[in-house]
Structure 1
Amino acid sequence: MTSYPTTDRLTVADALESHHFQITEDRTVGHADEVLRGAHVPYLLVRDHDGRCEGLLTRAGTDPFDSRYSEQTPVGATAHQRGPFAWPALGLALAALAMEIRHLTVWPVTDDDGYLLGVITAARVAALLALPPGRAEH
């Protein structure tokens, strides 16, 4: 018989989802906008030159730049969501509260060295926390 954690024991690791669309902070806003539109994704994860998670860029973050500045402005100069980020052992209920306070629908999850492990979404967190005790999905 498979044992499932109760909702009070769920952690961010239980809600972790992969996300493959990333961009480095030195790429231009124009390039980021092309990826966002071409891949039909609502956000890109931003990495620094060492590959560590720098944040999350949405289309709203690229909107203030018109075409002549978007090809000159690096992604790192935009107003994108930055840390702190979630970590795998963080309790899921606490993560839900932090996301609510910060008005986040997506939150990057990093390891102790700042490397991206994936993301958690408000919808997935809410769904897991709404399950009856002992019925959490894996």
Structure 2
Amino acid sequence: MTPRTPQPAGHSLTVADAMDPFDYQIADDSTAEQADDALRGAHVDYMPVRGHDGRCEGLVTRAGLHPFLPLPGSTERIAVGATAHQQGPFAWPTLDLLLAARVMRIRRWVVWPVIDDDGYLLGILTATRAAGVIAAPPA
């Protein structure tokens, strides 16, 4: 956890103050089965989905993949991009953290991808981390 630095007067917390880097991504043309294997192998419950151009396309979760996993003996393969994964909007690092936390609460999101102006993944904002940074006493 990165220690919070004192903010200048008039400066509110932003998503950049609470986001964490995230090393894992899955391509949108990967199958649901491949995504499930990647999630299990990385020991994570969610993973950002990357499009052909490298930009963030959404977020896939283990629970969200479950209906798309092939049944035993089935040869049908469904691409992650065709699943009902969370697709935008995405957070920006300059977004006010209180607003981001409110949006996450309303949408019942526990995780929100953070992208740059070109749509590339910068990190992940979790509801737990946002709440912790908001609740932290000023340094």
Could you state the TM-score of these two structures normalised by the residue count of structure 2? 0.88
Could you list the per-position Cα deviations for residues 39-75 of structure 1 after superposition, in whole angstroms to 9, with x for gaps in the alignment?
2111111011000000110001111124256861100
* 2:59 match: secondary structure: strand
Alignment of 1:47-126 (within 5 A): 47-68=50-71, 72-126=77-131
Whether contact under 8 Å (2:59, 2:87) holds in the other structure is: yes
Match of 2:30 among 17, 27, 31: 27
Q: What's the counterpart of residue 7 of structure 2?
A: 5
Kindly indicate whether structure 1 or structure 2 has the higher relative contact order, using CA contacts under 8 Å at least 6 residues apart. 1
Percent sequence identity over aligned pairs: 56
Unaligned runs of 5+ in 1: none
Task: Call closer, same or farther: CA 1:31–1:18 in 2, change over 3 Å.
Answer: same
Unaligned runs of 5+ in 2: none
What code does the residue aligned with 2:7 have? P
CA RMSD of the aligned region, Å?
2.1
Q: What's the counterpart of residue 44 of structure 2?
A: 41
Could you list the per-position Cα deviations for residues 73-117 of structure 1 after superposition, in whole angstroms to 9, with x for gaps in the alignment?
100011111101000110000000010011011000001111110
Instruction: Tell me the distance in 1 between the aligned counterparts of 2:117 and 2:25.
Output: 19
Aligned residues: 133
* 2:67 match: secondary structure: coil
Instruction: Tell me the distance in 2 between the aligned counterparts of 1:70 and 1:25.
Output: 19
Instruction: Tell me the distance in 2 between the aligned counterparts of 1:115 and 1:54.
Output: 9
What code does the residue aligned with 2:91 have? A
Whether contact under 8 Å (1:109, 1:118) holds in the other structure is: yes
